[in-house]
Copies of this chain bind each other. A is one copy, B any other.
Amino acid sequence: MFLKNAWYVVAISKELTNTPLARVVLNEPLVLWRSEDGLPVALEDRCCHRQAPLSAGKVHGNTIQCGYHGLVFDPDGECIEVPSQDRVPPDARVRKYPLYEKYGWVWAWMGDPLKMDLTLIPDTFWHESDQWLPVADKFYVHSNYQYLIDIQLDNTHSRFVHPDTLGNAGSLRHSPKVERVGETVHNTREMRDSDPPPYMVNATGHTGNADVWVAWTYYPRAGLITFDTGIAELDGGIFEGKDCTSYKVFNTHGITPETENTTHHFWVSSRNFSLNDEGVSGVLSGIRETFLEDVEMVEAQHKILTALPDRSRIDVNADQPTIQARNLMEKLMLAEQSL
């Protein structure tokens, strides 16, 4: 049901404090906190004694104390104190989840610790950079995670779901180039001489057609999709690597299954132009409403697919990117289950 040997975004960095945070990921209840030494910690959210949630307990220094009988656990999940007796019983421990923190997000490795691989997480420098200005938030989505991945990877929906912001006519006319690169899928849609997306017109004041692009990479083993999008002056040669006026927006979507039917959606949308222009910031902060249009659509789709799981369906040409992405995820899950 879920790919386990993978990283998933489990929190925004600033969510982690010395107050325990309960969060369910891939059906596993986690307790998250930041220890006294500044490191993020994730354990199973249950005491190994009577299964009270550790998130109902208290953080002391680097440890967490269960709120029921006071058992104390260190950041590795080892029980180091039982208040009602001198000795800690053997096997008194709970599972620890390895974490990785960078650029404002915290990822957890949900599978076999021996297979943990930090190189799977791409560099998302646009989250925190002098040259980029991000907008960021998280959503709680009542949908299977796969539908939320699909809608991100399929640009032809923008004209209909986001007609006033992302949706340009060009996205329906230009075919994308899709390629598998290792354990990722990469998709480029170069729209030469196209109408720019409405929100870019509003943000840049650009008039007339432009060279427009949307490129994304899907990292199933990092729970991520990254977007490189933008517009450039018409025939300035952007696609040939020439220097020309261009405006870029880079997005990151951390898509983390909570359960089969619910998903955590972490996102960042960052621009590299007019960083001090409040008007432009106003336009681009509207991306939150735009992303919520996606959420509304996949929640509606989830309801129908839950009610009518077996109805026939057709594919269209524009489904190639999402089909490749689903194939990769399926291949990774099969490989994992055959281990």
Contacts and interface: CB of A to CB of B under 8 A. Distances in A.
A177 interface: no
Contacts of A85: 316-318
B172 A68 contact: no
A308 interface: yes
Interface string A150-181: 10001011011100000000001000000000
A29 B67 CA distance: 35
A197 to B, nearest CB: 16
This chain's copy number in the assembly: 3
Q: Tell me which of A89, A150, A156, A160 has the highest count of chain B C-beta atoms within 10 A of its own C-beta.
A: A160
A252 to B, nearest CB: 23
Interface in A252-284: none
Contact of A51 (B50, B52, B304): B304
A40 to B, nearest CB: 22
Given A51-B313, A301-B53, A29 B84 contact: no
B316 A160 contact: no
Contacts of A66: 160
Interface string A298-316: 0011011101100111111
A4 to B, nearest CB: 16
A301 B52 contact: yes
Interface stretch (A41-49, A103-111, A203-211, A217-225): A41-49
Q: Tell me which of A29, A49, A67, A69 has the highest count of chain B C-beta atoms within 10 A of its own C-beta.
A: A69
Contact of A68 (B29, B297, B314): B297
B69 A313 contact: no
Contacts of A315: 49, 89
A65 B52 CA distance: 46
A56 interface: yes
Interface in A284-339: 296-297, 300-301, 303-305, 307-308, 311-318
Interface in A59-101: 65-70, 82-85, 89, 91-92
A154 to B, nearest CB: 8
A160 B303 contact: no
Contacts of A156: 69-70, 83-84
A173 B66 CA distance: 19
A50 B172 CA distance: 17
A316 B172 contact: no
Contact of A70 (B44, B53, B159, B303): B159
Contacts of A82: 316
Contacts of A24: 307
Contacts of A297: 52, 56, 67-68
Q: Which 4 A-B pairs give the minimum distances between C-beta atoms?
A: A84-B318, A84-B156, A70-B160, A52-B301
7 contacts: A46-B304, A48-B313, A51-B308, A53-B304, A67-B160, A69-B154, A69-B156
